[in-house]
Every structure is written in structure tokens, then in C-alpha cells.
Amino acid sequence: MAATTRILLIEDNPQDAELEEREIRRVEAACTFLRVDTREGMVAALHDFVPDVILTDHSLPTFAAQDALELGQQLSPDTPIIVVTGRLGDEPAVQYLQAGAADYVVKDHLHRLGPAVLRALDIKRSREAQTRARQLQAATYRIAQVAMSAPRLEELLPTVHQIVSELMPAKNFYIALYDEATDLLTFPYFVDEVDPPPAPRHPGRGITEYVLRTGRPLLVKPESQLDLDYLGAVEAVGTASVDWLGVPLKQGDRTVGVLAVQTYTAGVRYEEHHKDMLQFVSTQVEAAIERTRAEQALRASEAQLKAVLHSALDAHVAMDDAGRVTSWNQQAESMFGWAERDVLGQRLADIIVPLAHREAHAAGLRHFLATGEGPILNQRIELTALRRDGSEFPVELAVAPVRIGMTWLFSAFVRDITARRAADEALRVSEQKFGSAFQAHPSPMAIARLADARWVDVNESLLRLFGMNRAETVGRSGHDLGIWRRDELRQQMLAQLRAGGVFRDVEVEWLTRSRETRTGLLSAEVIAFAGEPHFLLHFQDVTERKQLEGQLRQAQKMEAIGRLAGGVAHDFNNVLTAIFGYVDILREEMPADSTAQRDLAEVRKASERAASLTKQLLAFSRQQVLEPVVLDPNALVEDFEKMLHRLIGEDVELRLSLAGDAGNVLADPGQLQQVLMNLVVNARDAMPTGGKLILETANAELGEQYAELHQPVVPGRYVMLAVSDTGTGMTPETRARIFEPFFTTKEKGKGTGLGLSTVYGIVKQSGGYVWVYSELGRGTTFKIYLPRVDAAPDTLLPAREPSTVAGTETILLAEDDAVLRPLARGLLEKLGYTVLDAADAEEALEAARQYPEVIHLLLTDVVMPGASGRELARQLENPRPQIKVLYVSGYTDDAIVHHGMLEPGLNFLQKPFTPTALARKVREVLDTK
């Protein structure tokens, strides 16, 4: 918004003042006028209104133009004054101009007033611009000067405040700096007549942060503050000011802070030229701040470096290119016996280099200074050093040259390797003493000093375990190598050994170089070695055994749950068969529109749900009967695709990736489709907002290495079916339990927890394996591996429905369930059959012996007290070779199935069955030729 020109009218006639305003607005519309007619009014206006130009009448009752000129020169010498009068001769006009008037206008020629005001304003603004330019030049020079001398921001910033105050009103002044590393806005300098200094804060939506965020200067007046509030660009922080002016502090294109001034006084206002001035100064201010901060950081870095060198575990010494000592830390004092104050400035060679080597030392220094080359620089070397007492000792030395201006500094870290040399000697003795027996031992072993736990020897097995070489391990402790996952066990072991005890078969976890965790049984005992107390470590790696034990426990757990589930399902199947039968009989006898008919329908639905649950339990326990055929998995998936789109919905994208060379498998097609159905439903539920579902087939060769890591997989040729989704994924804890029956992560009432249990049972019963790969938020993949077969796919013909289910044949019924047996007999007799019933095999054989006519069909339960249904059928083969057999059972039994697969040529009806299913199956078997 453009600044408004403020014009003070010293006029006692309101009509004349109105005429003057009208003339001025013709040339300058954006004006604000204030009229006064006394000396006191003019004084107040100069302070509060701060006019840009003053118009004064020639004569007022108590005040004249001459008085106004004198007062203006005294209180506001830069504000132009124009005299407006009725009539004025040349002599008074000259007097007014000499007294400081910018111009004069006769009221009879008021059309000259507007141009006169514009000329006066132009002259004023030109003078102000020149003045500001001089002030800015002086200010930037002074800021640069103070930046050279101020060692800290605390001394620099008050001086910057003082310099800015000489350019503009800056009673309220602050500097905010932003640190990207900590995301904090700090206020190292804050002077304000109302608010206290703010605490460091994360950038919010304050007006300071607005400048920081946009990187542009900002002048906020009351009217522009309303605009910012309306747009939601800023939020109020602190007390509201009349005007607020802030400019960014920049390093290149990056805004690093804000320089701001503000006023709480209505008579002290900021304009665009103030913004330009502050922005101009800000460049020099930022440079000064950056220089001062850099020098502070350098001093802090030097102090930190000195602290680091003095706390280093190795000795540090440094010399200049004249060979004089410039640095000597506390470890150097301990190692060589000289105090820092005694050696600084002395020749290094005279202090720590043995006499026999000093000439070589001096020659090496001269060679480097002449050529820039040194054979011992920037590498580890071993030399002999000299102590203050004259004794010599071996050291490891690393020297690095550093160029500083036109001179060189040589920095060296020195390590006393006396102990390491002793360890090397101990290693040599150890190798002679233990020889190949220690090195060839299959278990990882090490020998360490009891005093400091540093290893003096390790065998090849330990090196292979950690993936390290001998040089890395000998002379260092397990703690130095970082191999202990739990350091408290290491401390416990050392404490026990130093107390005279032993450490026997304690399970520990060690970390290899690749950070792989190896679990083992650790034993340690104290031994005498090279004349000193040492201890022998023995690590028995049991990582693979622990993994196999975990897999075995999981398999045993699933097997136990499966046996329990199968037994429960078997008993339920007999009960459900009876319920189905009697419900269907009752429904036939009841009127179609009766209330009882509807109630029985609900009982029937509940029974069907229970039957579905028992079927899933049998599938998990691998006790359902499968009728396998050789099938093409690609054809199965393509056929299954037809129903998938209805199942998964429109927000899930379905993709098929079927290998053209995928082999055939031996499986029950209905059960395999059930597996795919359950996995697809799980995948769909894992993608509530949509995603991708991928069905894949491929050949897979599972080798010995894969089988070892995925017990109990048998190596061989397989076909892989995979179902992948891009859904929510699983945690490791959930993944470990997904195949347990009744385990579910869904809401109550949304799942039975048997879907994946069924998948597990069907796949295992089909001779295959199922593995799940999942990460939280990364989706899930189920991979099913079924044995590959070379046979061609079987042709699947649709089952032929019998034209009638009634008959007149004779049926021998063997069923041990006292509820089910009379039900089955009644159903069959109602269809016209003659039925001989028996509670077990013995009764059935007796009934067959006593019945003189033909028995057409044996309908027998597989599992009965005494002889099984299969054994009963075999005993009837000789006396009645023409008899046909139909087996019924609620789960598998070795009598008629092998590994869950129905023997070829056998007729089977799965419990629970309905009366209709029984009638159709009986008729179907009787009609077979």
C-alpha cells in the first residue's frame, strides 16, 4: 500500500482550508490533512502527526507565518513550509524565502498550490535520499569495523542496534537466528519496551517466521496486519505494535535470520524508505554476524581439539618445520616423562629420539621440506623411542603433515606397544605350546590375559565365526571388538574368573563382523600361560540347533492342536449328521408356511455353519478326505479368476503372473480352490482402501540349503503358487501365530480364525509347504509349494445326477452311533430300500450270514469299535463278491486313505451329510457298473 502524504494546514478559516485541500487533491489524491491555528497546535502536530509538508497562512489572530517558520526550523528543519496568503508583495515574499519557506502562493492563484506542494515534496525526498545514502554508507562501514573487533555476538549486536538507531526509530529492536540442524529460532539480541525476550522455539506462524519463511522484507501497518490475519498467513505472538518492520538475513539464497524493529507509538511510523534502509544494512549485519560466529566457532573448535588431544588414550605430539615441539598432551607426559611446560619450543629429536636415530630424523625432515615427500608419513610405523630416564621402548607411530600458510606442522599419535610386543611373544610361546591341536579345534577358542582380558591367541574356528583376521583380534579384548551383545555377561564372566571360579556352559550371544548374532554355550577357566594368569575361552555354537528347536516346537504345537481339533470335529460330525437328518424329516412333515418350518430353517442354517467350522478344523488337522487328481495349476487359477472380481471388489487391482512352463501337481481341485479363496479373502481384508492382488505360478527347485533353513521341507521339484497383496502387512509376533486355529486379528464377529488354519492343513495334507513373508506396512506374500508330477492333467467330468434316488435293493448298514443308525435306516427305508442295520462289524457279519437273499450294498462307518469298516468289507468279499461298498466317515483313517488321499476306486461320503446327499450317493453307488 502506498504511503499517504501528511499535510499540516495552519489556517484559522475552515473555508480557506477546504479550498486548499481541494487544490492539493487535484495533484496528490493520497493525502491526510490536519488543521491547527495556534502555536501549541503546531507543536503537537509536529510531534504526533509528523507532517510531510506545512501550509501556513500569512497571518492568524495569535500566530503568524514568521512564527511558523521559526518554529518549523527549530523542531522539524527538514519539513518544507509553504506560505499561503491573500496578497503579498515582492519584499515580504523574499523575506519568507530567506527565513526558510520553500515557496509562497497567493490565495487568488490557488491553482499554483498543488504544483508548489509537489515541488516541495520532491526537493524534500531528494534531500532525504541523499542523507540516507550518506548515513547508510557510514553505517555499513561502522558495522564492518565493529565486526573486525567484536569477539562475540554479545558485544557485536548492541553496537549494531546503536548504529541502526541512528538511521531510523529503533527503540524496539531484535535479531532472530534460525538453526536448521536443531530447527530452533533463537533471539540472541532482543530489546523491547513491552515484551520480554522470547525463549528459543520451533518456527511457528508468527510474523518473524513469516519473513523467515518467505525470505522477503515486510512492513506491517495496522491495515496490512488485518490482511495477513484474514489470509491466515500469521498468528499473533507477543504484544501488538503500531508498525512492525522486518528484513531477512541471508547467506546466498538461504534465509538464516530476521532483523526487526517495531513501534508502539502512533507518532513514530515506518515507511517504505525505512524498509529499504534496513534491508541495505541487513547484508552487512548478516556478514558481521557470520564472521563473529565463525570466529567463536573456531575458538570453540580449538578448545575442543585441545580437550580431545588431552583426553586421547594415545600420546599426541606435534612439531613445526624447524623441529620444535608445538603440542604435547597428557598421555605424552605419562609416556615420555616430560611435562608440557618443559618441552614446548624445544627440539623434538633431542627429547624422544634415541641418539642413534637423530641424524636420520633430521635428514628425513630436510628431505620432506625440499621435496614434499616422506617415506614414513601418513602410515603406521614401529620405531624405538626415548624416555626421560634414558630407557628406550617400542612405539607405534602415525605422522601426518599439515600445511598452515607458508609453514608445515607435523602431527603424530604415538602408542606404547611394549604390551603388544609382549603379547606377540606370548603368542609365539602359545603357538609352540598348543600347536596344531588348538588351531584345529572345531569350536571357537581364545586365550586372554586375566588382568585386562586382551586376547593373546585365537584359533581358526573363532576367526571364521567372526569373519576377522588374526591381526585384528590378537592384542584386543572382546569388548574392544564389540562382539558381546550383553556386556553384563562379559563382566560377570571376568568377575567369576578373577574370584577363582569358572564360567561353564552359559548361553551368550556374540556379534560377528557382519553384525550377525550367533548363539553359543560359553565356558571359561583360568590357566597359566607364559608365566602369567590367563583364561581359556571355549564357544560352542548352537545357533542352528536353537533355530531347529524353535521350528520343532512350533511344528509339535501345530500337530497337537491339529489332533485336538480333529477329534472334536469327528464327534461333531456325527451329531451334525443327525441334526441334518431329523431337521429335514421334520421339514417334510410340516406345512410350508408354518412357524415351525421357519424355525427349522434357522436350525438348518446354524447346523450348516457348524458343519463348515468342523470342515475347516478337519482341514487344519489334516483329517479330511482328499480326492486328488493331476491338475494344471495355471488352469485352476484362470478358472478361479472368474469369481475373483466379485469377491475382491472394484478397488482392488487383480494381476496374474502365470509361468507358461509351470508343471502339474497332484491335489484335490476343490480343496486347492478353497486354499486360494481363503488367501484372497485375507488379502482383500488387508487392503481396506484398495491395492494390488497378485496371483503367481512358477516352477521351483528347493535345494539342500533352502531345506535346512525351512524345516521340514524336503528338497525336490515343486510348483509354487503365490498370493501377494500390498496391504497392511504383519508384525513378526502376528506372523508367528497366523496358522493357529481360532487366532484372528479381526474384530469380534468378523472372522473365525480358521481361514489360514484350513490353508495350512490342506497344503500339508497335499504333501506341500506354505510360507509367509510379510512386513508391517509393506504387504504380505503367501507361497505354497506342491510337489511337481510328470503326469498329464486328468479330465474332470461333471458328476451325473441320478434320475431317481429311490430303490428296492437291500442295504447292510453298519454304524456305531446310536442316534445316527436309526436315522439312516429310516431314511433309506422311506426310499424303498430293505435295510439290515448293525452297531459294529461283528453284528454286520452275523446279519449277512443270516440273510439268505442278495445284499446289494454295504453302507459302513469307517471307524467303529472292533473291526473297522474296511476290515468288514474285506470279510464280506468272499461270501458276497457282488456286494458294493459305500464308506462314510467324519475324518480320515488309514483304513481307506493314505496320507489323507482316498484310495482309488473307493466310494466315500463325508460326514456330516444331509438325507438328500445320502440318498444320491447310495443311488449313485448302486448304479455303478
Q: Are residues 640 and 775 in the same domain?
A: yes
Examine the pLDDT at 398 and tell me if it is beyond 50.
Answer: yes
Q: Are residues 353 and 210 in the same domain?
A: no
Which of these three, 728, 754, 789, is where a domain ends? 789
Q: Are residues 851 and 919 in the same domain?
A: yes
Which of these three, 296, 323, 339, is where a domain ends? 296
- What is the per-residue pLDDT for 1? 37
Confidence of residue 85 (pLDDT cuts 50, 70, 90): confident
Query: Among 796, 816, 820, which Cα is nearest to 918's?
Result: 820
Q: Whole-angstrom Cα distance, residue 921 to residue 805?
A: 9
CATH number at residue 501: 3.30.450.20
> How buried is residue 758: exposed, middle or buried, by Cβ count under 10 Å (0-12/13-18/19+)?
buried
Confidence of residue 43 (pLDDT cuts 50, 70, 90): very high
- Tens-digit pLDDT profile for residues 659-698: 989 999 998 887 888 888 889 888 888 898 889 999 999 9
- What is the per-residue pLDDT for 611? 61
Specify whether the CB–CB gap between 621 and 569 falls below 8 A.
yes
Counting the structural domains of the chain, the total is 7
Q: Are residues 643 and 737 in the same domain?
A: yes
Residue numbers of the domain that contains 49:
5-131
CATH number at residue 555: 1.10.287
DSSP 695: E
DSSP 111: G
Q: Are residues 757 and 649 in the same domain?
A: yes
Q: Give the torsion sign (CA, 351, 352, 355, 357).
A: negative
Examine the pLDDT at 432 and tell me if it is beyond 80.
Answer: no
- Tens-digit pLDDT profile for residues 449-466: 998 989 988 888 888 888
Q: How many CA atoms lie within 13 A of 216 on its CB side?
A: 4
Q: Are residues 666 and 699 in the same domain?
A: yes
Q: Are residues 263 and 404 in the same domain?
A: no
- What is the per-residue pLDDT for 377? 84
- DSSP per-residue letters across 396-429: EEEEEEEEETTEEEEEEEEEE-HHHHHHHHHHHH
Examine the pLDDT at 622 and tell me if it is beyond 60.
Answer: no
**pLDDT averaged over every residue in the chain:** 83
pTM, two decimal places: 0.35
Q: Are residues 536 and 551 in the same domain?
A: no
Q: Are residues 494 and 555 in the same domain?
A: no
Q: Are residues 324 and 272 in the same domain?
A: no
**Does 751 fall in a domain?**
yes
**Does 234 fall in a domain?**
yes
Examine the pLDDT at 276 and tell me if it is beyond 70.
Answer: yes
- What is the per-residue pLDDT for 9? 93
Is the N-terminal amide bond of 712 cis, ω within 30° of 0?
Answer: yes
- DSSP per-residue letters across 350-378: HHHS-GGGHHHHHHHHHHHHHHS--TTBT
Three cell numbers, residue 344 = 614446548
Beta-bridge partners for 410: 319, 401
- What is the per-residue pLDDT for 261? 93
**Does 175 fall in a domain?**
yes
Q: Are residues 124 and 156 in the same domain?
A: no
Examine the pLDDT at 742 and tell me if it is beyond 80.
Answer: no
Q: Are residues 291 and 335 in the same domain?
A: no
* Beta strands 53-57; 81-85: pairing state: parallel
**Does 137 fall in a domain?**
no
- What is the per-residue pLDDT for 797? 46
- The mean pLDDT of 628-644, rounded to a whole number, is 85
- What is the per-residue pLDDT for 623? 47
Confidence of residue 740 (pLDDT cuts 50, 70, 90): confident
CATH number at residue 837: 3.40.50.2300
